[in-house]
């Protein structure tokens, strides 16, 4: 395929030429074709091949070809021709999509409940879409009028395609602040951290740049993840000079690691702080970045009342939040007419200067400032930085372009902001105070976790901690001007009550070592040519706002903000645990209804509590492919499209830099609908425009309830294209490298130097970016000292990142191991599953028929447990059963359990979730104090063998309510009943 050097104009010209070429072979508006060689010797007359983007795991956007014969998909294979980001990968989950699309148990029609909630059989009966929509509209209006829009919550998950309207479009419909999303415990905390500390979602590592030192931390991307997976990750291991893996257990790939750090589950933050200590003590940090682009030299004043007065802006609706209040020294603290946006630093280069109003008579230096309002240091000229060099990174994959790296900006006029020292200052009030740079406070915090101390916490030898930190931070090739690569950190650090602080430490580590928005560093979400450079999620939000334009209800009504005040600032989710409490108790206000798109109640906290909460609702809607446990609590079920049936423009979610599309390969069943269209249809049923001002929102005049094609046209407006033309261009060209087609926003590294770091969602604006250089924080710096946290949680001692042990562990509760001897981790990726999905797909289930509990053979022998035995895992809340998997790759005293298991084969509403779902054991109120992420792993439990005497039905194997055993063996004949049923689908 041609590697085209595309501008926006040439992209449109290419599209025009492509439409003419592709139009010859296209057979319908809804099925885009690729002119490829005949497949397996078949004539092109009855076989077509569609280039698309796989969504079987909802994460990596692997490029695929789908072969369709006589209207049926018969094969899925990787696109090795143009999908540089996935390199032709096509995993078992992707290939088994053939079984999902034609599954006999798939939902094909809207359904309604006829039996009371709580009964094993919901009594589903088929209804029409008109009845479904009118019922939803009636019930939503009823709840809003009686209790207010806040009485409804909206759940969103992942996979398929855009099942994420719970993040905005659904809450906007009824003016509810309560989005209950998997994001709260899945990558959301790091995005929250980025918005708080540096830049939204700049946590992704640019793996296609091939880091010289590859550091996956608490993740196994060789199986599945956003930031590349499978073949791409294996290539990283093979091309890296050094492979350092941080994980409590051995995985299929990390046994190849040059350095493996077996840390105790939940101690990630302590280890990361120890790395920071080693880097600081050995002067391995990037001094210019630290001084110029972080708030490290800003001065913390001891004993000063927090000052500021400048409002902090909320993300949703850009509403004004609390006035900033922090103890960083500002010009307004020194004189009455001083600016609250000018942050003071101590310049060590200059001596006395009586003519300057801020200069002292101290020969060691004087005060100067950075002005966050202008983005300039004192005396600095306002100019666009235009010095670049080509990305020198070795081992770049085929089909990629290098991009350019901004040369670091020196201080001009030259200053040297102090990072250490104690200084005295006289405030405007006449009060004299001591002050010291943020960096000194940070260094002191890191010193509390020096390697010997961290060794006691993490279980890793001090010399190994020090060695790993030095290997990662010592530049292999200093001539590049940046570090060896970023950190590819996973979900594990987010689930032990330190989510935000752990992620803050990672972000600072990346920044201080010169790996922030640099080649192979942590860059942020791919920026392409779509509307909104942060991601290709074109229908998450609607164009509808409250009639009075007042978005303030998000501030004080979002559930969980009383316990976690920072949620009022973040506003992207309501706390799931508080939503469940409000549904069960009516406190702080009643929650009586909701809707769920492709999500499971099992993912957020204690599953038993959430199941009870869902069943307590007056009205609940679920849209999905299957009758899941969540569906078992619904009043209305809505059938949706599978990814093989979907059209949608697509950007890679991580830092891959790929732009492409998901393209419909097969026609959807007649009675199923696209999630995107469903949300618009419900708006229409309620008489609420999806777009209040269509033309201003990028839609044709008068179109208040657009089709999903029109929404995609809107997304492509900046490119001057419509969806059909774009789809056809993608079929011809394949995936585009955004370094090439978006050179200013993605093809440029160190975008904080150029003013293109973050973006604005403005139709037709090019380029979109920051109005000035720097980052999108109140100080325009990476905030090691967080002004937002200090404003919203004064006195909480959280301004600097810290680490505390998870509540139900030996480190927090000495002696807990006597009754609960095993420290449990969970949540690992399974090659054939994605979280709770695919349990009913024969190819997947026969490979992994039952949930497993990894336990060290020495521990198992002591407990009388053998390979394949069913074992009980118990906490003070509940107990569940999983199969013992004896594994030397897990440390003694630690077990690894699997999450979110349910059993589609059981004919009961809850699908047996409580038999094996590990989240039944969770203590739901142990949460991260800033974002509410639950303590899903790193807590102590007990393990013992399941026997006929201690098991229901006298059977160690989990059974349904009627005694039916779950499928736990690949030879189970029930797997054959799940094989594709083409006639059922085609008759639907």
Which residues are the active-site residues?
A: 93
d(CA 462, CA 480): 30
Assign residue 598 a region: left if phi > 0, alpha if psi is -120 to 50, beta otherwise? Answer: left
Peptide bond preceding 588 in cis form (omega within 30 of 0): yes
Tokens 């997976």 correspond to 229
Do strands 213-214 and 179-181 pair parallel, antiparallel, or not at all (unpaired)? unpaired
Dihedral angle computed from the Cα positions of residues 605, 611, 612 and 613, in that order, rounded to the nearest 10 degrees: 70
Instruction: Provide the token pair at 810.
Output: 């030996």
Between the CA of residue 99 and those of 521, 648, 845, 888, what are the distances in Å? 38, 22, 12, 35
Instruction: Provide the token pair at 367.
Output: 């005060």
d(CA 734, CA 3): 10
d(CA 451, CA 779): 32
Between the CA of residue 85 and those of 300, 386, 400, 494, 653, what are the distances in Å? 44, 29, 9, 26, 11
Do strands 307-313 and 320-326 pair parallel, antiparallel, or not at all (unpaired)? antiparallel
d(CA 693, CA 763): 13
The partner residues of 543 in beta bridges, in order of sequence, read 691
What contacts 24+ positions apart, CB below 8 Å, involve 792-797?
A: 792/322, 792/565, 792/566, 792/568, 792/569, 793/565, 793/566, 793/929, 793/930, 794/306, 794/325, 796/929
424 near 433, Cβ under 8 Å? yes
Do strands 870-874 and 879-886 pair parallel, antiparallel, or not at all (unpaired)? antiparallel
Residues 6+ apart with CB under 8 A from 56: 91, 93, 94, 96, 97, 100, 159, 643, 834, 838
Residues 6+ apart with CB under 8 A from 973: none
The partner residues of 390 in beta bridges, in order of sequence, read 404
d(CA 533, CA 3): 22
Phi, psi of 390 (to 5 degrees): -70, 140
d(CA 610, CA 608): 5
561 near 568, Cβ under 8 Å? yes
Q: How far is CA 690 from the centre of its chain?
A: 26
The partner residues of 368 in beta bridges, in order of sequence, read 345
DSSP label at residue 673: B
- Count of other CB atoms within 10 angstroms of residue 697: 20
- For residue 906, give the 3-state DSSP assignment: coil
Between the CA of residue 492 and those of 190, 522, 826, what are the distances in Å? 12, 18, 8
747 near 404, Cβ under 8 Å? yes
**Nearest one of 661, 641, 650, 667 to 31, comparing CA atoms:** 667
DSSP label at residue 494: G
553 near 180, Cβ under 8 Å? no
d(CA 153, CA 149): 9
């Amino acid at each position: 395929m041609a590697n085209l050097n595309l501008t926006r104009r040439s992209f449109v010209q290419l599209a025009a030429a492509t439409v003419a070429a592709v139009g010859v072979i296209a057979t319908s508006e809804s099925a885009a074709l690729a002119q490829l060689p005949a497949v397996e010797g078949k004539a092109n007359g009855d076989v077509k091949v569609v280039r698309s983007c796989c969504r079987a795991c909802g994460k990596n956007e692997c490029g695929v070809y789908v072969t369709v014969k006589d209207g049926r998909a018969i094969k899925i294979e990787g696109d090795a021709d143009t999908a540089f980001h996935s390199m032709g990968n096509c995993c078992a989950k992707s290939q088994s999509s053939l079984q999902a699309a034609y599954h006999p148990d798939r939902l094909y029609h809207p359904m309604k409940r006829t039996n009371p909630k709580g009964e094993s059989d919901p009594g589903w009966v088929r209804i029409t879409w008109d009845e479904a929509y009118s019922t939803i509209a009636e019930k939503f209006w009823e709840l809003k009028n009686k209790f207010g829009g806040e009485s409804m919550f909206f759940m969103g998950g992942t996979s398929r395609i855009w099942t994420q309207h719970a993040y905005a479009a659904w809450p906007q419909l009824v003016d509810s602040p309560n989005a209950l999303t998997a994001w709260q415990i899945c990558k959301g905390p790091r995005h929250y951290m980025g918005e708080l500390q540096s830049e939204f979602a700049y946590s992704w590592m640019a793996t296609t740049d091939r880091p010289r030192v590859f550091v996956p931390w608490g993740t196994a991307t060789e199986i599945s993840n956003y930031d590349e997976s499978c073949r791409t990750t294996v290539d990283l291991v093979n091309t890296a000079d050094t492979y350092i893996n941080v994980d409590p257990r051995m995985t299929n790939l990390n046994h190849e690691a040059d350095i493996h750090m077996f840390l105790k589950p939940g101690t990630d933050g302590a280890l990361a702080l120890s790395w920071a200590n080693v880097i600081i003590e050995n002067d391995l940090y990037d001094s210019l970045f630290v001084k110029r682009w972080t708030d490290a030299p800003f001065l913390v004043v001891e004993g000063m009342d927090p000052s500021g007065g400048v409002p902090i802006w909320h993300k949703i609706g850009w509403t004004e939040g609390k006035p900033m209040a922090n103890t960083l020294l500002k010009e307004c603290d020194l004189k009455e007419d001083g600016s609250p946006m000018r942050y003071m630093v101590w310049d060590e280069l200059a001596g006395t200067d009586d003519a300057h109003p801020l200069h002292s008579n101290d020969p060691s230096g004087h005060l100067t400032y950075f002005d966050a309002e202008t983005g300039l240091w004192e005396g600095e000229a306002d100019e666009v930085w235009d010095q670049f060099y080509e990305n020198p990174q070795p081992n770049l994959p085929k089909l990629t372009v290098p991009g350019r790296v901004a040369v670091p900006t020196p201080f001009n006029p030259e200053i040297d902001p102090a990072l250490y020292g104690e200084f005295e200052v006289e405030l405007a009030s006449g009060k004299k105070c001591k002050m010291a740079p943020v960096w000194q406070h940070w260094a002191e915090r890191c010193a509390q976790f020096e390697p010997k101390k961290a060794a006691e916490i993490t279980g890793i030898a001090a010399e190994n901690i020090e060695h790993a930190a030095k290997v990662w931070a010592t530049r292999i090739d200093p001539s590049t001007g940046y570090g060896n690569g970023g950190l590819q950190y996973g979900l594990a650090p987010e689930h032990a009550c330190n989510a935000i602080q752990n992620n803050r430490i990672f972000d600072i580590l990346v920044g201080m070592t010169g790996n922030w928005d640099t080649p192979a560093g942590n860059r942020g979400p791919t920026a392409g040519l779509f509307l909104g450079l942060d991601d290709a999620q074109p229908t998450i939000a609607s164009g509808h706002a409250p009639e009075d334009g007042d978005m303030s209800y998000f501030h004080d009504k979002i559930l969980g903000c009383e316990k976690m005040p920072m949620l009022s600032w973040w506003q992207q989710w309501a706390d799931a645990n508080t939503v469940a409490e409000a549904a069960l108790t009516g406190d702080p206000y009643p929650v009586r209804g909701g809707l769920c798109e492709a999500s499971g109640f099992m993912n957020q906290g204690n599953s038993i509590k959430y199941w009870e909460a869902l069943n307590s609702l007056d009205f609940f809607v679920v849209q999905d492919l299957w009758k899941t446990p969540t569906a078992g609590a619904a009043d209305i079920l809505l059938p949706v499209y599978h990814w093989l049936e979907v059209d949608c423009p697509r950007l890679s979610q991580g830092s891959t830099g790929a732009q492409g599309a998901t393209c419909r390969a097969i026609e959807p069943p007649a009675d199923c609908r696209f999630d995107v269209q469903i949300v618009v249809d419900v708006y229409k049923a309620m008489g609420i425009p999806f777009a209040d001002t269509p033309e201003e929102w990028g839609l044709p005049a008068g179109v208040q309830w657009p089709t999903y094609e029109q929404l995609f046209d809107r997304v492509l407006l900046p490119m001057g294209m419509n969806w059909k033309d774009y789809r056809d261009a993608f079929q011809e060209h394949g995936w585009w490298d955004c370094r090439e087609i978006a050179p200013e926003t993605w093809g440029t590294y160190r975008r904080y130097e150029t003013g293109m770091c973050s973006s604005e969602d403005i139709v037709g604006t090019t380029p979109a970016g920051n109005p000035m250089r720097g980052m999108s924080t109140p100080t325009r710096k990476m905030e090691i000292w967080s002004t937002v946290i200090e404003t919203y949680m004064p006195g909480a001692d959280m301004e600097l990142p810290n680490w505390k042990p998870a509540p139900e562990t030996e480190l927090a509760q000495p002696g807990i191991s006597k009754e609960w001897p095993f420290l449990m981790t969970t949540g690992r990726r399974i090659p054939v599953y994605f979280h709770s999905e695919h349990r009913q797909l024969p190819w997947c289930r026969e490979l992994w028929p039952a949930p497993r509990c990894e336990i060290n053979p020495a521990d198992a022998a002591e407990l009388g447990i053998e390979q394949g035995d069913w074992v009980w895992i118990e906490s003070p809340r509940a107990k569940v059963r999983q199969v013992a998997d004896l594994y030397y790759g897990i440390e003694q005293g630690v077990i690894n359990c699997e999450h979110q298991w349910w059993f589609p084969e059981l004919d009961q509403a809850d699908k047996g979730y409580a038999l094996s779902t590990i989240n039944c054991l969770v203590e739901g109120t142990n949460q991260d104090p800033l974002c509410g992420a639950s303590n899903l792993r790193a807590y102590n439990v007990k393990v013992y063998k399941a026997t006929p005497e201690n098991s229901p039905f006298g059977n160690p194997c989990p059974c349904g309510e009627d005694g039916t055993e779950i499928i736990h063996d690949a030879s189970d004949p029930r797997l054959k009943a799940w094989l594709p049923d083409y006639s059922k689908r085609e008759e639907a």
